[in-house]
Amino acid sequence: MSTVISGKEFKVVHGTADPSTTPQTRGMIRQPGIDSNTAGAKKIWLGKVTCLPNTMGPPHHHGEAETAAYVISGSIRVYFGEDFKEYVDAGPGDFIYVPANTPHIEGNVTDEPAEAILSRGPDNIVINLGE
């Protein structure tokens, strides 16, 4: 649904798009809500991510994109730093910030799935560094 007001198009996107329309890493299912395909967005990607139980993704970074996430349910762990020895854990109600160009590994070290709302800009840039 879209409406044009003062030459600007406002859109409502109902639900998320298929995960195959955006870059992925193992263990995390990223489903776009707002992106270039669903809303014509040029400077932001917003979507839902599901972290599979007992699964860590490969090392990766997001290039020039900063990442912010809000954890809805479960627990998400993000490893970073030298040899990925440092980490933070976030649970429901927590926000996570990952700076641009920062190699990290994220996932879920629990038996329950985790869900978060993820925002990244200018786009969902995912640069996998190998497994």
**Three-point CA angle 114, 117, 118, nearest 5°:** 110
pLDDT of residue 130: 72
The dotted CATH code for 16-128 is: 2.60.120.10
CB 49 within 8 A of CB 129: no
What is the C-alpha separation between 57 and 43, in angstroms, rounded? 25
pLDDT of residue 4: 66
The band of 121, judged by pLDDT with boundaries at 50, 70 and 90, is confident
Q: What is the pTM of this model?
A: 0.85
What is the C-alpha separation between 61 and 98, in angstroms, rounded? 9
Per-residue pLDDT tens digits for 53-97: 999 989 999 999 999 999 999 999 999 999 999 999 999 999 999
**Which amino acid type is present at position 77?**
R
Q: How many CB atoms lie within 10 A of CB 125?
A: 18
The band of 131, judged by pLDDT with boundaries at 50, 70 and 90, is low
pLDDT of residue 91: 97
Q: Over 60: is that where the pLDDT of 18 sits?
A: yes
